Structure 1
Amino acid sequence: MSEEPGPEAPVRDRDWRMILLAVLALVGVGVLVLLLNLQTSTDRERDAALERQAKTYEVIIRAGLLSGTMAQAEASLGRYVVSGNDDKELGQQFSDQWGEAANHLARLEALTRSDPRQQATLKRLRTAFEARGKELTDTALYSVFKRDRDALGRYYQVRATPARAETEAMVQRVIDDQRKLLLERKGDSAALADRSRTATRVLGIFGLIVVIGAVMLGYMTVQAIGGQALADADADAERLRAAELAEAVDAATAQLRAEMREREAAQAQLRQAQKMDAVGQLTGGIAHDFNNMLAVVLGGLELAKRRLHTGGADAQKHIENAMEGANRAAALTRRLLAFSREEALLPSAIEAHAVIEGMANLLDRTLGGAVTVETRDDGLGWVIWADRHQLENALLNLAVNARDAMNARGTLSFATGGRALAANEIGECAAGDYVSIAVGDTGCGMAPEVLERVFEPFFTTKPVGKGTGLGLSQLFGFVRQSGGEIAIDTVVGEGTTVTLFLPRHIGEAEAVTDAEAPAGDAPVRALDILVVEDDPRVLNATVGALTELGHRPVACDDPLAAPALIDGLEALDLIVSDVLMPGQTGPEMITALAHRLDGVGVLFVTGFAGEADANALGGYPVLRKPFTMAALAKAVEGARA
């Protein structure tokens, strides 16, 4: 007989089904956990990849801004050079744009700090950028000092240099590398998405097998539908995150542009403030210097007047003091005019040590008894081709600065010698022999931030009203005009040595003469002279000086009246004329009278350094105002020679 199934069979079947259901449930839960972990991990990696892509976009944009700003700066420099320093704002625009380019470069270095390969490229870019900046800044300096022809030539010379080529090549390399990196990162993002989809598909298939094997098919079906809904939600979330990322990039770009506009506005305000500060500093320094000089002049004349009335014997001394103050005021005026128009140099063959020896009395009066002056000459006897007056002014400026650095107490040394320099060994000097003039002091020295700005116009460390800031900028312009260079050695607390290197001239040095020697009692020959001057005070003074020198001057206060006066003269040997006059200039008057001036000399007198180029005045000699009787006598004699 067959056995009937007992009641335990359904129970065992139910138990197995329960066990199977439990296993399937655990497997389903495990699959769900794996899916969630995989999705979370993939989302994190995808977000990181998108962030890297955004950073790559920013590097490319920043590199493009750097290239564009550099091009704008060079274009501004070109317009500034072509304008001949007539438009100061163009020069400032070049400086500002180049500074903005430096900011873009610094931001690029910060963005790529974690990429050693990009850092190596940016290091080369930084070196080329600084070299290019020096080339362009030096070109701008030629325009600052009114060397327009040199500035224009220099600009065309540096339009295509290794530094520029290296800068453009490095910027392009940064952009190309970032584009390659962008493609790689896009590939990584795509690979992550493919891996996520593949893994999700495999696990989904495995889960489907589990669902098919489960007793509770309906429950598993619901779970599968839920998983699909979750995948759709994830896709929507991904699209939402991409849209949010695009909005974030747009917002960051807008913010960057707003910050750039704000920075440009702030820089414009700063430039205006700096201009006003420079004007205030200049006028304060000039007022201070002129007040001191006028105090010497007025005080000396008043004391001389008192001594003349009381019969004192020292009236001559006070008159000499007043004349010295007037001469210093005239020298300051020449420096201001030279700074504004770049005074033409009058070079000659001179020996540097002889010039220093000739300044001994002037240095003693200027520096005071507490400053010890030492001179040393290596005895080479080399000669330089330079303007002696400008060289004396340069050395005197250095001496006064040294005295102030030593608080009017210490040792000031002048050492002259010679040295053969290689090309660019000192600044931008050409290879050759140079005469060196070293001016050293035992003062406070200069800090690095002061040394960087020492040759800037209007820059001074003296208190407000104590200096114009023109001395060392004029020294720089004179040395560069003479084809030389300057080196500065300084130690804070120990002192400073400024060395001028001027090209050696092959030839004999001219004798150093005293330009202020007294005029003789009578000229070689008394001349009939027509004096044309619109200022009545200057006219009377000039006529009086010529009369004192023994000549026969005739006054004319209007250049248009000169032809009629000439018709009434029995003889005419020389015309002494001002340059700028209302109605007709001096050169225009001489040109109109050219057919009537056969055998008649011409001497122009001017108070503007920019007009003192005899070639621009028809080749006639020029006498600068103010002048002494000795200078007038010498100029009259030279005009008739």
Structure 2
Amino acid sequence: MSENERDAVGAERVGTGWHTIALLILAALGIVVLVALNVTLGEANRQRDRALKLQTHSYEVMILSASLTGTIAHAEASLGRYVISADKDLGQAYSADWTLASQQLSRLDRITKDSPEQQALIAKLQRAMAERGDELGAVALNTLYKRNDQALALFYKARLGPARAEIDRLLDEIGAQERRVLADRTGLAMKSVKRSSGVASALSIFGILLAAGAVALGWLTVTALGQRAVARAEAAAERGRAAELEEAVERASEVLLAQESKLRQVQKMQAVGQLTGGIAHDFNNMLAVVLGGLELAKRQVATDPAAARRHIDNATEGANRAAALTRQLLAFSREEALRSEPIEPVTLVRGMSDLLDRTLGDTIEVTVDASAGETWLVRSDPHQLENAVLNLAVNARDAMEGRGKLTITTAGVTLAENAVGTCAAGDYVALSVADTGCGMTPELLERVFEPFFTTKPAGKGTGLGLSQVFAFVRQADGEVGLKSVVGEGTTVTLYLPRYIADAPSEEATAQAAPEPVENRALDILVVEDDPRVLAATMGALEELGHRPVACNDPLEAPAALDRLGRVDLIVSDVLMPGQTGPEMIAGLLRGHPETAVLFVTGYAGDAGGEAEFGRHHVLRKPFTLATLERAVAAAASAPVLRTDTPIDSIAAE
């Protein structure tokens, strides 16, 4: 081997040695870079984990404060329903919700121990919650002891109490402060991740491609993980809030549907309460006419028959007036679903004259002015329309402080599209109630239809009257017009769509024509537990030429019917001890399906119909001899009804 070759080999070996050294150095650098990357990524992961933990803690604080707000609102809603209905289950629901709110507050206190600022707010919140609990506890206690008026007044006062506003403010401030902390923490975490990523990028310049790829992958991974964690936490929070909102809406909808009919009945009964004094006064006057006429008739029946007949006629008129008043009051106060039918508003308002006179008193002059459109019809529920008119009249009386002039006007009008509110174009019956009271300012006019809004002192009004009127008119596809001048008075106008009935066909007219009833002597079983009513009914039937048989116990009616063998008609009271009339008839007709039935009741006034009594004929108490004669003839000549299914019993008469 030549010297040159030896020099080349040496040089190659030297180069190889340097390559080896370079490779070792590169390997060492690669190892250093990998270690540095590992350390950097480890620190980034620790920063990420810490940021996620802090973010989770912040989300827990925000979600818990929002849940506490919802729980308090639900507790107060349950208390409001408890005050209105006095249902103990609702009271227990309020207590459970308030207990849950206290537990949530304790949890919020525990998880914010690391924040002096939050602890200061929590301390204030605990004091406000204690004060609010005392207010609501007083409402619940008054409701428990049946002091509903005081409870309702306290509840309305508590709705605007400073404690509730302070609770809402503190919860909002806690949530806002935690959001600021969350934003700061997120910013710091992202800066840390960015700083670590920068170091890894710088190291990748001096490392191998694998290290560079690892750095890039690590940076992308850290960034993606951080963003994904933030997105997941925000999505979870949004889903939780959406679920809570959906549940709250469902609960509120169920409560509103359940309370709608109760609110209507509450308004009716409040109106009935307005009638009580006048009803008692007039009823005593009518009874005085009846008793006085009968006593004078007894004195003069032998000496002056003509005068005795006049006194008897006067007593009969007084009794008929009392019966009509009772029927009207019962029909008005009855709780039932809305039943639309064609109504002539003028006739309805004129028929309310006695109710209005007794409700408003002698110092209010009531005038009914029916000009154009007197015979126009509307399709609505008559009792709800009566209730609306009476509510407006009572409000007008209060606005006039018990003295003034009330004018009720009905007229037919043709309105253009959106001429009044959002009403459609067409013909309307405009029913106006005008008073000469104090009037209302524009600010009050904007709020009069809000539920629970009232200008009356606590305990003197619910604030539901005008809102119920508004809801009723809207349900009838109508609108409400309101005009008021301070010091001159207010006019409320109900615009109800005109209803034009279809002309009846000749066939329907022929079917509706009453058929002549055959008057003949009948064998009648009379079932009545009141001995006086039983004796009077027996005497009336005998006077009409029938052959009645008395039975004073519905449980003995089957045996009485078996002894008689067969009767043409059973006349039965509705509610009796031991068994109701419909229950008794359901059992009797299984063995005697051909027997006709006539129910006699004094409960429902002019309300309801044969459908409530298994489609049998119904006679309302009190009745005249002529009315009884027609009812007996109609029931006896009616087609025989099948009673394959039992008749529902009636709970009250």
TM-score, normalised via structure 1 length? 0.50
TM-score (norm 2): 0.49
